[in-house]
Amino acid sequence: MTRPIPQEVQGSVKALFNQGCSLRAIQKIFPDLSVSVLSRHRKKFFGHSKHANPGRRSKITTQNMNYIERNLRNGNLDGPRGVQCYLAHMVVQMTLRNIQYILKRKGFKAKRKIKTNFVSAENRKKRFVWAKRHRHLTADDWRKWGFSDESRVNMWGSDGESFY
């Protein structure tokens, strides 16, 4: 139950709420009423109505956000860095961290690319033939070989000249 306050004060508080005054502004006028009491009376007068636009307005307009979402899905913008360049072009300065936060809220979450070794059909055949040719080698024989993805390997250290 709300704390009883005089009828004339209730009428003036209701009039101030109708004018769109905030709880803090009304509390400055009536310092003996707490914010929680004013909040309860506002609920009693108007129900559980919410403000139309609570909080700070976004720097990015709805049109710009729709454009960013569409171009990220199409691949025209290259992640948060591309979005930052686009927003700078639209004269909206935002940090990369804020852009990442906005994109995460919109459902664009970062994923690591799954790396797979590309083996073409022709190369697969060559590998299979090579493996069949060398399947008789023992573990000691395999230890004598060195495998690398480099085309030239320096066998004698960084100052040596022997390349294989």
pLDDT at 137: 86
Q: Could you tell me if residue 127 is left (phi over 0), alpha (psi between -120 and 50 degrees) or otherwise beta?
A: alpha
Contact assessment for residue 45 and residue 54, using Cβ atoms and an 8 Å cutoff: no
Structure-token pair, residue 137: 């080698």
pLDDT at 162: 54
- Which residue type is seen at 121? A
Fill in the DSSP letter of residue 156: T
Predicted confidence (pLDDT) per residue in 89-126, tens digit: 999 999 999 999 999 999 988 777 788 778 888 888 99
If one compares 157 and 35, the residue with the highest pLDDT of the two is: 35
21-25 LR contacts (CB < 8 Å, sep 24+)? none
The whole-angstrom separation of Cα 60 and Cα 67 is 11
If one compares 53 and 31, the residue with the highest pLDDT of the two is: 31
Contact assessment for residue 72 and residue 83, using Cβ atoms and an 8 Å cutoff: yes
Backbone angles phi, psi at 86, to 5 degrees: -65, -45
Predicted confidence (pLDDT) per residue in 35-87, tens digit: 888 888 888 887 776 666 677 888 899 999 999 999 999 989 988 999 999 99
pLDDT at 152: 65
**Distant-in-sequence, close-in-space partners of 29: CB < 8 Å, separation ≥ 6:** 16
Q: Could you tell me if residue 6 is left (phi over 0), alpha (psi between -120 and 50 degrees) or otherwise beta?
A: beta
- How far, in Å, are 13, 24, 35 from residue 21 at the CA level? 9, 8, 13
